[in-house]
Structure formats: C-alpha cells, structure tokens
Structure 1
Amino acid sequence: MELQPGQVNWGSINPQPLPGAVRLWMWSVFAGGGDFICTYRYRQPLYGTEQYHYGIVGTDGVTVTPGGREYETFIKEIRELRKHYSPRETKPVDYLARRTAILFNHENSWSIERQKQNRTWDTFAHVEKYYRTLKSFGAPVDFISEAKQLSDYPVVIVPAYQLADPALVSQWTEYVKNGGNLILTCRTAHKDRYGRLPEIPFGEMLTPLTGNRMDFFDLLLPENPGKVMMNSQAYSWNTWGEVLIPASDAQVWATYADEYYAGKPAVTFRKLGKGTVTYVGVDTHDGALEKDLLKQLYAQLQIPVMDLPYGVTLEYRNGLGIVLNYSDRPYTFALPQGAKALVGSTEIPTAGVLVFSFKK
C-alpha cells in the first residue's frame, strides 16, 4: 500500500533511494505473494504539505521520474514473465520443509514496552533477530495470530509473548506433542491476558510445557554486559536474561558464563511427545546466539537450510524463484539444478533482482 516512487517528504531526513530500489520494492511485493501495488503518488503535487514527495511523473505532469522509469522496467519484466507463470503454487520441497511461523500480536508488544525494565530492551528488535536468521535460511516465514493452525508449520517461534493463559499454553503443548517444534523466548507467559501476574511462582505458567522453573531474571548495564556460552562460543548480552531451573529430561544448550550465576542454564531443549520445545531465556546483543541455536535446532530436526547473507532473501511463487538483494554488496546466487534465469543474472548487484524458473 502506498509504495513510494522515489524521494519522500515525511521523514526527518529524506535521502534519494538507491537506483534500483523502487524496482526492488515492487519485486518484493510480488515475491511476498502480492497481486496488486498501490503507489503514492502518480504526479508530484504542486502545492500543499507534500510538494517534495516524488511521483511517477514530475511537476510538469509528463516527465517520468527516475522511480517512474523503474515502474516501466518492472511492468515490462512482469509482463514477460506471464509466459513462465504457473497458476499452481508450485514450490520446492526443501523450501516448504523449512516453513516457519512467528506468533505475534501487538498487545504483547505494548505490554512489554510499557514496562521494559531495561532501557535497551526493544521488542521489535528481539523478534527481528529470529526473523532475519530465518530469512538467511531461505525459509518462508509467516507472522500469524492465535487463530492460525500451528500444525500447518513444522516450526513455530513464539518471541516475548508476555500475555498468555493456561488455555494458550495447552494449545502450544498439544502442537508439540503432535510433532511440532516450538521455540519460546524470554518474557513469554509472564502475565495473564489482563496484564496481571498470576498467583503462581513467577514465570511458571510454562512449566508444564518446558519443564523449566525460573530462579530469577537479571538485567545488566549496556557498558558492562555479561556472557552466555553455547558449544564453547561466547555471546554478549545485557537486556534480559532468565536463570532457569530445567527439568530432569531437558537438555541445557547454553549457560551463563559470568556474574554470580555462572554455569546456570540460559537455553533449554526438551522432547515432548512427538515434538520438541526449545526455551531461549536470554536476549543477546547481535542475535548471534539466536542464529547459532536455530542452526543447531534445524540441523537436529534434519531440516535443510541455506546460508544467505544478511539482506539477501529468497522466495518462491507460481513456479518462479525470486532473489532480492537488499545488502550493500553484490551477491552471487547458485541456481538450483535445472533452473533458468529469466530476469537478471546470478551476479546480483545491490538493489538487484534475480527471477528464475525451476525444475518442477
């Protein structure tokens, strides 16, 4: 909705988009499953508060702007793809195998942001650490609500889902017992739906599912962070860390490396029924721990993943693969066997796009 065709007027600083960015945004809409693009605006206005907002055509009403020329390019490319378009949603098996959902609602975000407890906490940044790792895996990711069937996804991530109740925890438990793989992160199920602390030991609404009890949580100064260890690798944290008391049938995947609780568990993994539940009780600075533990989990689940650099994404729809390069450097993409480049080439520049057909 309201895709910008170039420079805008509403930011505190309004730079020019990189050449190719407008076309990249349009391909992103298509790659994400969109079938319609609305732009604001067609012609740059001559008066009013948005005089400095670009249009597809400029102030004379006829001269096509740089962004408008990228619209022309995209229109020609998408028209040419019609001969390769499959009306069936054909996608590779290994791509669908890593399909992952992130459970999210804004009430949780609002609740936490009102009581951050640490000025460095950022709910959206916490979620984004998991999302960007999934995109580096080449995984299709859906942000879902509680109304969605979890069984549609082999893996579900529930990040900082503070407001919960026993009925919701039971749904998560059934998902795991029936073969699902659930990842819960810190600050999940600490409060009830009304934002109250339940009259149970703090953080133990999840105990029937994770097996964990929470000893306490800690918050550190950003200039004096702590360390958490996993597989002999150290990761820095300060924003939120829960010290866990795991169940006897749980595996400890990461522990705190310093402070007076050095050696205590920070991340646990538990098999339950036909599935698994992973609890990540710490939020790290750069998301490196989150990425490494997701790698470990997907490898254990025998789910094949890619290793795309940050800013490069891969999507499939209607018999086409689309690679988008939002990074600041060129990227060389290895085409799958039997695939053919249709738009762009395997050497994808910054703000570049590669569209390919693949062997069904």
Structure 2
Amino acid sequence: MTIDLSQLTAAGAAPAVVPPPPATRRDGGRELGRALGGFAYGGDYNPEQWPEPVWKEDVALMQEAGVNLVTVGVFSWANLQPAPDTWRFDWLDRVLELLHEGGIGVDLATATASPPPWLARRHPDTLPVTREGTTLWPGGRQHYCPSSLRFREAATELATAMAQRYADHPALRLWHIGNEYGCHVAVCYCDRCAWAFRHWLVERYGDLDTLNDAWGTDFWSQRYGDFEEILPPRVAPTFPNPSQVLDYRRFASDALLSCYLAERAVLDEHAPQVPITTNAHPDIPAQDWWRWAAHLDVVSYDSYPDPADEVGTHVDAATAYDLMRGLGGERPWMLMEQAPSAVNWRDVNPMKSPGTMRRWSLQAVARGADAVMYFQWRASRAGAEKYHSGMVGHAGTEGSRTWDEIRTLGGELQQVRELAGSAVESDVAYVVDFDSWWALELPSQPSARLRAADQLRWLRRPLEEHGFAGRIVRPGDDLDGVRLLVLPNLYLCREETAAWLERFAEGGGVVVVGLFSGIVDANDRIHLGGYPAPLRDLLGIRVPEVDPLPDGAEIAVELAGAGAGSAGTATLWREPIELHGAEALATHVEGWLAGRPAATVHTFGEGAAYYLGARFDDETTGRLLLAAAERAGCRPPVAVPAGVEVRRRRAGDGRSWLVVCNHGADEVTIELPVPGTDLLADGGPSGTLTLAAGGATVVREERSA
C-alpha cells in the first residue's frame, strides 16, 4: 500500500516529514551575543495583558535592570488574529517601537503556541486526543493536534503574516517558534495522527513485510496485512507491542518537529538573516532533541529547579544545562526561562531564598549559557499563572527583594560580559540517546523501577561532586578532547554504536557502561547470544540473565583489587556476570552470586572498558568512577569540596575564566590553579578565592591553566 500526500490531505492530516539537517549549523548564540554586546538578559514580555500606559514604565524599568532582550508575542495569537479574517498588528507595532527606542532587542515569537478559541470552534479536528480517546478542549493551552492539517495551515498563515510585517524591524534579534513543544501534549492519538503515522511508517519501512519483521508481529497474532490496519497504540486489553510504541514516540516527536519546520521555512524565506530557536522544557525526553537541535540556530531551555530541594536540584539542573550545550555542538545556549522566585504549578510553591536566583543563573553561565532570561517580566493579575513570580511582582519594585536581585544580576552580567561566546572545557562525556531512553521505559520490562533519568543521575553525581567537567553526547558524536566516556544506560544499542565505542577505547579512551545496556536493537528486538551482545567484546563479559531486585532489597558487595576489603551495598539490580577477558572490580558477598563479579574492567586496545552490573551505593560508585577517571587521566578544573561547582570557560584566543558556585551551607576557600581576579569583587589577582555560603562569582585567570 502507498499512502501519498493527497490521501493524507483528504483525511485532514499533515505529514510528519523531517528533512535532513543543513550541512552547516548556524551559530545563533554567538550571533546574538555580538548583536547585544555580551549576555542576553531579560524575559518573556506580555504587554497585551496590561493597559498601554504601563508599557512606557516597563521599558524604563527594563533599562534600569539592564535588560537587553525580551521575548514578545508567545501567547498573543488571539490578540493578533481575533477572527479568521481579522488582523490586529497595531498594538504590537507600538510595543516593538517602544522597545527599540529603549535600546531593547526582541526575541519575536510566531505566537502559535496556543490557538485562539475560534480555531477549535470552526475546526474541532485541530484538537488533540489522549490515548484513552478523550478530546482535550480549549481553556488551557497547547490544545492542538500536530497532525491536523488545518492547524498547520493556520499556524503557517500566522507565521507568514508575522514574517512579512517584522522581518526587517530594527528591534528584531531572534525568532521564537511556538513555545515548549510537547509540554502538555507530547503525543496525540487521534484519527489524523493514525493517517500520518501510517505515512511515516511507509517512509520508514517501505513495505509491510519489513515492518512486521521489525515489530515482531508474529507474537500475539498481530501480523498486519494492510497499512490501514495499523493504529496508534491506544488503550488495549494488556501490554501493547513495545516496538510499535517506540515507533509512535519517534513519530510523535517528528510530528511536532514538522510543525516547527513548517514555520521555520516561512521565516527563512522572509528573514534569512535572523537566527531561529524554540525552547525545550524540563520534561526533556518528550521529544528527540538531538533531531530537533539540528534545525535550531541556537538551543534554548526553560529551567525550573525546585527551591524546596536546594541540596540536589542543582545537580539535575546541571545535567540539563550540559545537555543543552551538547545539543548545540558545545556552542553557547540560552536559558530562555526561569522563575525569578516562585512558580505556580507545583502542589506547594516556595519562593527562592535570597541569592538562589543569582547562583542558579550563574550556574547556567558556568555551563555555557550566554543568555539569562525569565518567565516573565511582569507577574500576571489573572489567569492560571498569576501566582508565578515575575521580574516585576504584584507589589511593584519598591522594597522588592526579587527586583533588587534582578537589577543587581543585570549589572553583574555586564561586568562579566567578556566571557560571553567562550566554550566550556570538559574531558568527561555522558551518552544520552532518546531512542534508548524511551525503549528502556516501555512496558513489560524486567523492572519498571529502572529509569533512564535515575541512571544518568546515579553515574553523574559522584563525578560532579568531585568537580569533573562533563559534556553530554549522543552515539556517534565527535569525542575530541574526551578521555572518559560514561554510558549510564544504553539499553537500545545499535551495532554502529558498539563500533564507535570500540574505536574510542582502542585509541586510549576509557568507557564506563551502566547496567542493562546493549540489550536490544533499534526496533527493540533482543540481541541474541547473551547480554550485552554488541558490547561483549568491548567489556570482556557475558551476562546470561538479569535479576532485578524487589523494592527495599539491599545486597552486599565488596571491592576487589586496590580497594580490596571495602564493603558496599547495591539495590535495584544484579547480574550473574561471566568473565571473558575482564577482571572483577567488585564482587557479591552473599546469596547465590557470592564470589561472582558485580563490576568489571577490561583492557581494550590502548584504553579500557568498565561495567557496573548493579546499582551500587554512592560511595562504592564513586570509588569505581574515580578509578576510571584516574585511568583516563581526567582532572577537575579545581579541587573543590562537595557542594561547590566550578567550570572553566575558554575563549579562542586562550583567555579563560572560572565560574564558581557554592551550593553549600558554609563559606569555602578554594586554591586556584593559577592567580585569578574575581570580576564581581574588589581587589586584584589572588591565588585563592573565598566564597560565602550560597555565593557565586566569575574569576578571570591571569595566565593559562
């Protein structure tokens, strides 16, 4: 069966077509920095929520705070197009002129993030449908189906009108397509998506025999005889076909990406000189951001760490920041949104304590952000986000601690603008693959407790606490400068990925592989012959079966070799590892696996490969990872106590800076590798840095380190 575009159009469906990425990637982050003379600083500005006399006051306050960029128009579709054939741009014209006169650049949104009520009333086929068959109605936001042809047409019509009117506006610095794609509706299951999914499958597999083989449809009598028999993985009597679910996640990501690309094509036609972005949201695996990032001129991210968890939340934020930098090929990225203080959407929404917003902002700078932005400029009076903090709060600016911090940080970013455009140094890399992330968390696995984010957190935290600088890569990426490559989990592992890892180790690199990796191929079919089949040669082991542990179970382990006699524990998982060239680094000490390896190392070429076959406690994990880092020759930028974060950013001309954040509760004094000047404090070069609890600063290194 062939599904052509005319059949899709007749069904009211738009194809999920993702063309190859451009041969060269535009460095939109550095372009923006050059246009602004340093860091971008500002936030979402929604003047349509306020009477016009407030606008002039807004611009004056922005100038006072050091704001040089605001995002305009994200949720203004209904104001710009109040009816199908009615357009009202006059108010936006006046806003952009005021901002330009005030010296403030604009990140102009295409306004397609939330359709107006009239679109759903006239075209109910634009609304999304849940897996259970429930239609999601207007009244919130993001109430659109990405496969709806009518939605796609309406969105590109609006984007065209915006581009034609504002392409050459002197305030325009950046285009902002949509907003937080997939935040509320990452996957739609309607009939239009069924049509588009079939078209996507035809493009992917070509014929039904290939698809049936890939999905293993001989199991449970699922074999398809016609593409029209295939549906989205809606609610079924029991576990759905996992290969089908995995492909539907891929399709859903491509469907949303196609919406973005349809608008991008319009902007490229009318304003090719202006870089383009869209903002990722905290639910990172909702889309395959590696595929998305190839079509972004600058990667941008919305970060909302929980102020109630000041002990560990900065570690998760750091992971997201390293991913954003990695998505952009280690180029500067944008912190597009953060809360000035409290948010509105948790069950309990505490404010940020004094200094937290500043420290977390500089943490993003430490990890490569060249923009510090907020949602939003002025806190709303009405609506679902009226209790979400703003740069200007409900009480105004007088006596406002948050405003004082906003204004102070704006000045400080001007003081350290010399490091904008520089790169973050790192010699450790962590592998994140969204196909594998989704596949690991499909139903009917050995343990539903094994989660990709937990695995990533488990193997990042010990190295982070010891100050090692890491980046995040995908399988096949260039590993120039990387000495230690950590795979927290690579459940789905292609043969070419295994070859990539072997080349890295053969050349002297050190690889660390987390448990339950190398299990299935790209279609979620088991690699036969014993786990982890494609990685057995690299790791020098074979695992005939796995043994997930029940909740609350804890097993004893003991380090071997240099750490002999050190006792530890493990939870969640264990494996009966067979040695085939590797040596044991940790062993089980009780039960039927007593004396059997729990962690191993295998010399491979000029390098080595470690395998961690259990979820060890933090201390044991740290010992194993530090041994791997030592073997790889990795060093942190600065030796720091736990809770202190340091990253080195280096410019192409050799200049370098340390960005230091003290997340701990005590003042610390740090020995610097070379004399440095604290750019946010009085005084000249020094060999030490003293930083208050909760403090953060930027140190210019006075000679190369």
TM-score of the alignment, normalized to the shorter chain, above 0.5: yes
Kindly indicate whether the alpha-carbon contact (under 8 Å) linking 1:112 and 1:123 is maintained by their aligned counterparts in 2.
Answer: yes
Q: Name the CA shift for 1:147/1:271 in 2 (closer, same or farther; >3 Å).
A: closer
Tell me the equivalent position of 1:245. Answer: 578
Gaps of 5+ in 1: none
Give, in angstroms, the shift of residue 46 of structure 1.
0.8
Tell me the equivalent position of 1:185. Answer: 514
Moved over 6 A (4+): none
Alignment partner of 2:612 out of 269, 280, 299: 280
Tell me the equivalent position of 2:148. Answer: none
Give, in angstroms, the shift of residue 226 of structure 1.
0.4
Corresponding letter in the other structure for 2:599: V
Q: What are the equivalent positions in structure 2 for 1:113-262 lying under 5 Å apart?
A: 113-115=441-443, 117-118=446-447, 120-230=449-559, 231=563, 232-248=565-581, 250-262=582-594
Q: Structure 2 CA distance, aligned partners of 1:356 and 1:31?
A: 11
Normalized per residue, which structure has more strand? 1
Does 2:434 correspond to 1:106?
yes
Kindly indicate whether the alpha-carbon contact (under 8 Å) linking 2:538 and 2:602 is maintained by their aligned counterparts in 1.
Answer: no
Corresponding letter in the other structure for 1:314: V
Corresponding letter in the other structure for 2:374: T
Q: What are the equivalent positions in structure 2 for 1:21-32 lying under 5 Å apart?
A: 21-32=356-367
Q: What are the equivalent positions in structure 2 for 1:8-157 lying under 5 Å apart?
A: 8-59=343-394, 61-63=396-398, 65-82=400-417, 85=418, 89=422, 99-115=427-443, 117-118=446-447, 120-157=449-486
Q: Name the CA shift for 1:357/1:307 in 2 (closer, same or farther; >3 Å).
A: closer
Corresponding letter in the other structure for 1:303: C
Please report the RMSD computed on the Cα atoms of aligned residues, expressed in angstroms. Answer: 2.3
Alignment partner of 1:265 out of 585, 597, 614: 597
Kindly indicate whether the alpha-carbon contact (under 8 Å) linking 1:343 and 1:354 is maintained by their aligned counterparts in 2.
Answer: yes
Q: Structure 2 CA distance, aligned partners of 1:59 and 1:87?
A: 33
Corresponding letter in the other structure for 2:433: N
Of residues 113-122 and 315-324 in structure 1, the stretch that sits farther from structure 2 once superposed is: 113-122
| Number of equivalences | 351
**CA-to-partner distance for each residue in 1:143-193, whole Å, 9 max, x for gaps?**
111241134411111111100122221111111112221111111111111
Tell me the equivalent position of 2:621. Answer: 290
Q: Structure 2 CA distance, aligned partners of 1:271 and 1:202?
A: 19
SS of residue matched to 1:118: coil
**CA-to-partner distance for each residue in 1:325-360, whole Å, 9 max, x for gaps?**
223443332233322333259332332113212222
Q: Structure 2 CA distance, aligned partners of 1:86 and 1:35?
A: 9
Kindly indicate whether the alpha-carbon contact (under 8 Å) linking 1:132 and 1:310 is maintained by their aligned counterparts in 2.
Answer: no
Corresponding letter in the other structure for 2:625: L
**CA-to-partner distance for each residue in 1:268-315, whole Å, 9 max, x for gaps?**
11111111111111112x422221111112223443346534432111
Kindly indicate whether the alpha-carbon contact (under 8 Å) linking 1:57 and 1:63 is maintained by their aligned counterparts in 2.
Answer: no
**CA-to-partner distance for each residue in 1:238-285, whole Å, 9 max, x for gaps?**
20112211123x22111111111111011111111111111111112x
Q: Structure 2 CA distance, aligned partners of 1:346 and 1:311?
A: 15
Q: Structure 2 CA distance, aligned partners of 1:89 and 1:335?
A: 20
Q: Structure 2 CA distance, aligned partners of 1:288 and 1:324?
A: 23
Q: Structure 1 CA distance, aligned partners of 2:666 and 2:441?
A: 35
Normalized per residue, which structure has more helix? 2
Corresponding letter in the other structure for 2:576: V
SS of residue matched to 1:114: coil
Does 2:672 correspond to 1:335?
yes
Corresponding letter in the other structure for 1:334: E
Tell me the equivalent position of 1:347. Answer: 690
Give, in angstroms, the shift of residue 87 of structure 1.
7.2
Q: Structure 2 CA distance, aligned partners of 1:64 and 1:304?
A: 45
Of residues 264-273 and 339-348 in structure 1, the stretch that sits farther from structure 2 once superposed is: 339-348
Gaps of 5+ in 2: 1-335, 651-655, 682-687
Q: Structure 1 CA distance, aligned partners of 2:376 and 2:368?
A: 23
Does 2:336 correspond to 1:4?
no
Corresponding letter in the other structure for 1:177: E
Kindly indicate whether the alpha-carbon contact (under 8 Å) linking 2:492 and 2:518 is maintained by their aligned counterparts in 1.
Answer: yes
Q: Structure 1 CA distance, aligned partners of 2:529 and 2:474?
A: 26
Q: Structure 2 CA distance, aligned partners of 1:310 and 1:132?
A: 10
Of residues 124-133 and 156-165 in structure 1, the stretch that sits farther from structure 2 once superposed is: 124-133
Normalised TM-score (structure 1): 0.89
Q: Structure 2 CA distance, aligned partners of 1:270 and 1:259?
A: 26
Q: Name the CA shift for 1:117/1:351 in 2 (closer, same or farther; >3 Å).
A: farther
Kindly indicate whether the alpha-carbon contact (under 8 Å) linking 1:158 and 1:185 is maintained by their aligned counterparts in 2.
Answer: yes
Give, in angstroms, the shift of residue 136 of structure 1.
2.4
SS of residue matched to 1:237: strand
Please identify the structure whose Cα radius of gyration is greater.
2
Q: Structure 1 CA distance, aligned partners of 2:509 and 2:446?
A: 32
Kindly indicate whether the alpha-carbon contact (under 8 Å) linking 1:204 and 1:212 is maintained by their aligned counterparts in 2.
Answer: no
Alignment partner of 2:663 out of 315, 326, 333: 326
Kindly indicate whether the alpha-carbon contact (under 8 Å) linking 1:42 and 1:55 is maintained by their aligned counterparts in 2.
Answer: yes
Normalised TM-score (structure 2): 0.47
Tell me the equivalent position of 1:300. Answer: 631
Q: Structure 2 CA distance, aligned partners of 1:88 and 1:49?
A: 37
Q: Which has the higher contact order (CA 8 A, sep 6+)?
A: 1
Tell me the equivalent position of 2:104. Answer: none
Corresponding letter in the other structure for 2:608: T
